[in-house]
């Protein structure tokens, strides 16, 4: 049974791809058939995927002996590229999450895109084709056996994110500063491309060093990794080892895809896409792919630590992750767009995972990746349900009082929100986030206060508090109190296709954490998740202070949030208490900065975009006004001058020469004519005359015509010849 599932692993991404092809080519006009195909393919992927996952779980020692299966793909030079899949614990846990969450999102999309109502989306079928292709990309990335197919899947997702974020491309807003879906799609595509470029450089570098991109030859080949850790990198990386340099370049791809500082700007704007897409991109698949990639190349990072006890790349990763976590949670507490809060929350949680990987907490990061995917998908879909219920109103200031109107959405949203905050014991987010914090604590206890694990721990702990606070704010503003806008007054609960996936995901958001409860609590050897995925890494020791602190912060953050927003719910037109409070203590500027996302969009607008435009302008001028065109004109003018000169030369000299030649020809032929007439003709005539004369006067008399004369001559001649013969 296990072998059967392992042998058909490759089908997992094939199903949604086929669905994509069929929908895009044949069934675009049939909404029902299209979404059935899309969801059906996802069900198949899910069944096969979970078959593989549970087979993998049942396989002993999978971590030490991952399964690789490859077939030759295309040969290039001396390298034969292969295509295939690998089954290892990381792949298995990710494959547990991806098809299932995708399936939930697909089902949810049926309701969200208005199937069966008057408001059904005009490109409904195409939407399902795109999300199927998106799932293809993510599933292909998860199962792929080498970094080349991983990169291809990665780029498929990049394309789909562009198509889906800009799905409502015809939308325009009155406010010219508000980003439109088509701009947002372009922005997401271009910003992530910056990261992808680094990723590609990293892959090329790795390929140059190893001559292969398959996991078996590179990432799972410990001897090769050790050799790579001892190889000095290219000079531009300073004294780094090649392993660190490659990991840093590949991490560049993650920075783009997982929206880490400084390439985080695309993700909040990506909320312009339909909400299922937000759930798909920003919870289950695309941003997870970035974390998955770093987890994938984790052997490349850990080998350097193993040998050198220090890895600059991991410091970089940890710093970027921790900074992103605190930075975006600060922004999140001031956002009024219900999806905007979640967008920054996603960036922040991804920062947690990245920081965890940076401090070596591989297991904790993976754990958080999985739990986060479930509860963040839940939150996005919950917010989508709210948005549909409020007739596409997204401003939380216009909401309120939805608790009674949308009970299912409310309770599932609370479950997701508490998981995000890390509410103690009963939520998945608590166990995974706590493991990250505990690991950071453990590291900084080992290394002392003035070390980067300390800063990572500090930043993440503050971020944990902020997370709880903005979650409470969001829940309070959206669901509690009285409606502050007419959309909220007329809100209605969403259809079952939307709420049932919410309930299923809420179940996982609560219970999934129990697979990774620390060993100290439930007895040694029982932390199933750690045993399965991270047997080669030591378990993070339980730290009671950290657990208490993070519990306290989560509960405290939620409590303070409730005190500020929930106890006395906002009335219509009332100012955000946070804003008024911060203004009171002269921190209004900070609030404004947070509100405006620390002006990063403006900064990038002023530097990169203006810079690009300016550069383009310079190139334009260089081309048209300064150098190239004038140069070409100069060349043209010189050429024209030369041709004028040539013309003159032609007319004055060559023509005359030619005429002269002609004239001389005529003269010469005249001369020839004379010669011919006088000399040649004369000679010929002369010969003729002489011959005539000789004939007339010499030969004719001899020819008497008389036979006897001839005979006589013959005789005389004979006698003469005989005479001569006799004499000599």
Partner 1 sequence: MTIPINWYLLVAAALFCIGLYGVLSRRNAIGILMGIELMLNAVNINLIAFWRYMDQVRLTGQIFAIFVFTVAAAEVAVGLALVIAIYRNRATIIVEEIDLLKE
Question: Which of 715, 720, 721, 722 contacts partner 1 by CB under 8 A?
Answer: 715
Query: Segment contacting partner 1 (CB under 8 A): 66-74, 183-191, 310-318, 699-707?
Result: 699-707
| Residue 669 Cβ vs partner 1, minimum distance, rounded to whole Å | 46
Does 708 sit near partner 1 (CB under 8 A)? yes
- For partner 1, give the closer residue by CB, 666 or 712: 712
Residues binding partner 1: number (CB under 8 A)? 10
Q: Please list the alpha-helical segments (H only) found in 333-401.
A: 338-358, 362-389
| Residue 701 Cβ vs partner 1, minimum distance, rounded to whole Å | 11
d(CA 148, CA 151): 5
d(CA 588, CA 595): 10
Does 711 sit near partner 1 (CB under 8 A)? yes
Burial of 15 (0-12, 13-18, 19+ CB in 10 A): buried
Query: Segment contacting partner 1 (CB under 8 A): 336-344, 351-359, 554-562, 697-705?
Result: 697-705
- For partner 1, give the closer residue by CB, 208 or 711: 711
- For partner 1, give the closer residue by CB, 545 or 705: 705
| Residue 719 Cβ vs partner 1, minimum distance, rounded to whole Å | 11
Does 661 sit near partner 1 (CB under 8 A)? no
d(CA 103, CA 109): 10
Question: Which of 703, 720, 721, 723 contacts partner 1 by CB under 8 A?
Answer: 703
Does 705 sit near partner 1 (CB under 8 A)? yes
Based on its alpha-carbon atoms, the radius of gyration of the chain, rounded to whole angstroms, reads 43
Does 707 sit near partner 1 (CB under 8 A)? yes
Q: Which of 229, 223, 165 is nearest to 192 (CA)?
A: 165
Q: Which of 349, 345, 342 is nearest to 382 (CA)?
A: 342
- For partner 1, give the closer residue by CB, 622 or 710: 710
Q: 239 is written with which tokens?
A: 């004294």
Q: Which of 409, 554, 494, 639 is nearest to 647 (CA)?
A: 639
| Cα 238 from chain centroid (whole Å) | 28
| Residue 693 Cβ vs partner 1, minimum distance, rounded to whole Å | 19
- The contact pattern for partner 1, residues 400-439, with x = CB under 8 A and - = no contact, is ----------------------------------------
Within 196-235, the residues that bind partner 1 by CB under 8 A are none
Within 484-523, the residues that bind partner 1 by CB under 8 A are none
Question: Which of 712, 720, 721, 722 contacts partner 1 by CB under 8 A?
Answer: 712
Q: Cβ of 598: how many Cβ atoms within 10 Å?
A: 16
Distance between first and last Cα of the chain: 129
Q: Cβ of 285: how many Cβ atoms within 10 Å?
A: 29
| Residue 690 Cβ vs partner 1, minimum distance, rounded to whole Å | 23
The CA-atom distances, in angstroms, between 76 and each of 85, 148, 214, 289, 447 are: 20, 13, 15, 28, 47
| Residue 711 Cβ vs partner 1, minimum distance, rounded to whole Å | 6
| Residue 700 Cβ vs partner 1, minimum distance, rounded to whole Å | 9
Residues 6+ away with beta carbon under 8 Å from 631: none
Query: Segment contacting partner 1 (CB under 8 A): 45-53, 79-87, 631-639, 698-706?
Result: 698-706
d(CA 261, CA 327): 9
| Residue 727 Cβ vs partner 1, minimum distance, rounded to whole Å | 20
Question: Which of 697, 706, 724, 727 contacts partner 1 by CB under 8 A?
Answer: 706
Question: Which of 79, 639, 677, 704 contacts partner 1 by CB under 8 A?
Answer: 704
The answer to whether residues 513 and 427 touch, using CB atoms and an 8 Å cutoff, is: yes
Does 636 sit near partner 1 (CB under 8 A)? no
| Residue 728 Cβ vs partner 1, minimum distance, rounded to whole Å | 23
Query: Segment contacting partner 1 (CB under 8 A): 422-430, 505-513, 650-658, 710-718?
Result: 710-718
- For partner 1, give the closer residue by CB, 568 or 704: 704
| Cα 679 from chain centroid (whole Å) | 95
The answer to whether residues 486 and 404 touch, using CB atoms and an 8 Å cutoff, is: no
d(CA 416, CA 345): 12
Collapsed DSSP state (helix, strand, coil) of residue 7 = helix
Q: Cβ of 217: how many Cβ atoms within 10 Å?
A: 15
| Residue 705 Cβ vs partner 1, minimum distance, rounded to whole Å | 3
Does 691 sit near partner 1 (CB under 8 A)? no
The answer to whether residues 73 and 81 touch, using CB atoms and an 8 Å cutoff, is: yes
| Residue 717 Cβ vs partner 1, minimum distance, rounded to whole Å | 14
| Residue 703 Cβ vs partner 1, minimum distance, rounded to whole Å | 6
Rounded to 5 degrees, what angle do the CA atoms 501, 504, 506 make?
Answer: 105
Query: Segment contacting partner 1 (CB under 8 A): 60-68, 138-146, 171-179, 709-717?
Result: 709-717
Q: 391 is written with which tokens?
A: 């007739």
Binding residues for partner 1 (CB under 8 A): 703-708, 710-712, 715
């Amino acid at each position: 049974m296990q072998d059967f599932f392992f042998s058909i692993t490759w089908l997992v991404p094939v199903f949604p791809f086929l669905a994509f092809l069929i929908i895009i080519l044949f069934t675009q006009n049939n909404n029902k058939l299209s979404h059935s195909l899309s969801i059906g393919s996802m069900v198949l992927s899910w069944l096969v995927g979970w078959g593989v996952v549970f087979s993998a779980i049942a396989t002993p020692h999978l971590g030490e002996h991952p399964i690789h299966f490859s077939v030759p793909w295309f040969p290039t030079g001396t390298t034969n590229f292969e295509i295939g899949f690998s089954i290892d614990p990381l792949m298995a846990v990710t494959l547990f999450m991806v098809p299932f969450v995708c399936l939930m999102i697909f089902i949810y999309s049926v309701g969200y895109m208005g199937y069966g109502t008057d408001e059904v989306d005009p490109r409904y079928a195409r939407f399902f084709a795109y999300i199927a292709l998106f799932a293809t990309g993510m599933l292909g990335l998860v199962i792929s056996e080498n970094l080349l197919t991983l990169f291809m899947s990665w780029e498929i997702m990049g394309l789909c994110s562009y198509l889906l974020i800009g799905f409502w491309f015809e939308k325009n807003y009155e406010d010219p500063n508000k980003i439109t879906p088509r701009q947002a799609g372009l922005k997401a595509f271009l910003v992530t491309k910056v990261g992808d470029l680094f990723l590609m450089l990293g892959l090329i570098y790795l390929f140059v060093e190893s001559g292969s991109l398959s996991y078996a030859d590179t990432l799972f080949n410990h001897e090769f990794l050790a050799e790579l850790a001892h190889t000095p990198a290219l000079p531009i990386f300073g004294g780094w080892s090649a392993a660190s340099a490659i990991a840093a370049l590949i991490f560049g791809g993650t920075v783009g895809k997982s929206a880490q500082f400084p390439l985080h700007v695309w993700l909040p704007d990506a909320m312009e896409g339909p909400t299922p897409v937000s759930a798909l991109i920003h919870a289950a698949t695309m941003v997870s792919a970035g974390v998955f990639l770093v987890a994938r190349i984790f052997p490349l990072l850990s080998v350097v630590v193993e040998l050198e006890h220090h890895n600059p790349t991991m410091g970089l990763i940890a710093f970027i992750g921790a900074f992103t976590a605190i930075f975006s949670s600060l922004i999140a507490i001031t956002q009024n767009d219900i999806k905007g809060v979640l967008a920054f929350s996603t960036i922040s949680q991804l920062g947690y995972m990245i920081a965890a990987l940076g401090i070596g907490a591989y297991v904790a990061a993976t754990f958080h990746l999985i739990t986060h995917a479930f509860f963040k998908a839940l939150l996005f879909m919950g917010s989508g349900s709210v948005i549909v219920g409020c007739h596409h109103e997204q401003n939380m200031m216009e909401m309120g009082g939805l608790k009674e109107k949308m009970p299912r959405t409310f309770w599932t949203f609370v479950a997701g929100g508490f998981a995000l905050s890390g509410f103690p014991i009963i939520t998945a987010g608590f166990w995974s986030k706590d493991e990250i914090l505990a690991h950071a604590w453990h590291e900084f206890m080992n290394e002392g206060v003035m070390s980067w694990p300390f800063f990572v721990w500090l930043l993440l702990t503050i971020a944990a508090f902020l997370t709880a606070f903005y979650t409470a704010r969001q829940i309070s503003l959206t669901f509690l109190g009285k409606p502050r806008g007419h959309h909220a007054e007329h809100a209605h609960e969403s259809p079952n296709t939307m709420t049932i996936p919410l309930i299923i995901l809420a179940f996982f958001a609560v219970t999934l954490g129990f697979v990774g409860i620390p060993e100290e609590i439930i007895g040694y050897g029982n932390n199933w998740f750690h045993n399965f995925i991270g047997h080669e890494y030591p378990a993070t020791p339980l730290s009671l202070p950290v657990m208490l602190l993070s519990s306290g912060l989560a509960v405290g953050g939620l409590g303070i949030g409730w005190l500020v927003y929930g106890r006395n719910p906002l009335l219509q037109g009332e100012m955000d208490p946070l804003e008024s409070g911060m203004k009171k203590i002269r921190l209004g500027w900070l609030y404004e900065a947070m509100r405006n996302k620390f002006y990063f969009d403006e900064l990038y607008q002023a530097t990169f975009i203006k810079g690009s435009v300016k550069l383009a302008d310079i190139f334009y001028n260089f081309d048209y006004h300064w150098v190239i065109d004038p140069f070409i004109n100069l060349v043209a003018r010189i050429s024209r001058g030369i041709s004028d000169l040539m013309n003159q030369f032609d007319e004055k000299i060559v023509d005359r020469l030619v005429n002269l030649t002609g004239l001389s020809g005529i003269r010469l032929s005249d001369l020839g004519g004379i010669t011919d007439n006088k000399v040649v003709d004369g000679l010929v005539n002369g010969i003729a005359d002489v011959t005539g004369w000789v004939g007339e006067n010499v030969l004719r008399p001899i020819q008497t015509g008389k036979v006897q004369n001839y005979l006589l001559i013959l005789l005389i001649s004979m006698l003469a010849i005989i005479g001569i013969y006799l004499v000599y």
